[in-house]
Amino acid sequence: MDKYQVNEVDVSKGFADVLRIWSENFDRKFDYHHKYSWLYQDNPSGESDLYFLFSSEDEKEVGVQGVSPRQMEYNGERFCAGLVADFAVDQSHRTLGPGLNLLKTVLNKSKSKYPLTYSFPNKKAVPVFKRAGYRFTFEISRFSKVIKSRAYIEKRWPKSFAFIASYLLDKIIYLSDLYHYLRFVRGVNSEVLESSDQRFDALWNKTSFKRGLLLTQRSSNYIDWRIQEAGDYKQNIFLITDRSGEAIGYLIYFIQGNNCRVIDFIALDSGVSLKILFAAFLFHIRKSGVESISVEYKGTQDIDDSIASLGFIRRESRELFFVYDQEKLSEPVDGFFTAWDEDAV
């Protein structure tokens, strides 16, 4: 009998072992019960696939891997992709072989089910994912913008200087944001929502973001499911509409301490509409007293230019890995991904 075996288990029967492995191996603690039912059982794209790494010596499950279905589009073609998530192996079994065996087996099974399989592995797991057959395709980057600069200046300069310098710099940042607000946000209404409606479906049908890009379908049904994630912070929807009430764009965000994290966004186009969206949001979020805003995504140069024009600066990046079935799907040239495309943010 092999020392390790990979077994697929029905999600209705696997929670007890998943709970033990997650709680013993994940640094981040969250509501495991909610995440399991939300991601593995209540996914509008279908139940997730669940795989265990079984040790014959220990006579128990020592690793887990999930694959969550996501509805995606590319050049007008709709299909279901597999998001590889929640890869974990017990500490005593973290030699290269067991984890690699688990990833390879799951990948081979997923390739027969999905035309595309993708993952956001952390830095420690990247070498294992590469050896399993995944390859780096896109780079997702974090962009940030400072709103209140004093805390950042005090890290490098005396407090007496930081007080004066931050006051002047904050005035400049405010005036820049005010300029963009007056330039772009005319005749625009904004709302903060906890769920979506038919306006989001109309926006998805019209957005130019879909042209030539690989991306997750953002229907109102998907948005309402995705926002129920068992995260540490309450997620909100910021929606902007024109005079007729039709959606121009929306973004999903939450406040984490002194930082506001934008984790998803869509606009009618990557130019003026996207600038209207972020210019309106910058003025809205100032009321909360946050010191900075960050947004993580992989997009086109047009999207990058629009974001940068409003004062956002590119920071660190990380790798996004894919495996394609070339007989079922042509390899995408470009794509749009945000933090919401992961299993958790």
Task: Give dist(CA 341, CA 335) in Å, integer.
Answer: 12
For 55, list phi and psi in degrees, rounded to 5: -100, 120
Domain region containing 80: 4-133
Contact 110, 84 (CB under 8 A): yes
Question: Do residues 233 and 227 lie in contact, with contact meaning Cβ atoms separated by under 8 Å?
Answer: no
Do 146 and 264 reside in the same domain of the chain?
yes
d(CA 74, CA 214): 5
Give the number of domains in the chain: 2
Instruction: Report residue 345 as tokens.
Output: 């943010």
Global pTM value:
0.92
Alpha-carbon separation of residue 240 from 44, 200, 215, 237 (angstroms): 26, 11, 22, 10
What are the backbone angles phi and psi of residue 268, rounded to the nearest 5°?
-60, -35
Residues 83, 21 within the same domain: yes
183 with 87, same domain?
no
| Locus of tokens 């024109």 | 242
CATH number reported for the structural domain that contains residue 108 in this entry: 3.40.630.30
Same domain, 42 and 185: no
Both 66 and 176 in a single domain?
no
Domain boundary among 133, 162, 185: 133
- Quick one: 203 and 115 in the same domain? no
pLDDT tens digits, the chain, 345 residues: what are they?
A: 588 999 999 999 989 999 999 999 887 777 888 999 999 999 999 999 999 999 988 889 999 999 999 999 998 889 999 999 999 999 888 887 898 999 999 999 998 899 999 999 888 888 888 999 988 889 999 999 999 988 888 888 887 788 888 889 999 999 999 999 999 998 899 999 999 999 999 999 999 999 989 999 999 999 999 998 867 789 999 999 999 999 999 999 999 999 999 999 999 999 999 999 999 999 999 999 999 999 999 999 999 999 999 999 999 999 999 888 777 777 777 899 999 999 887
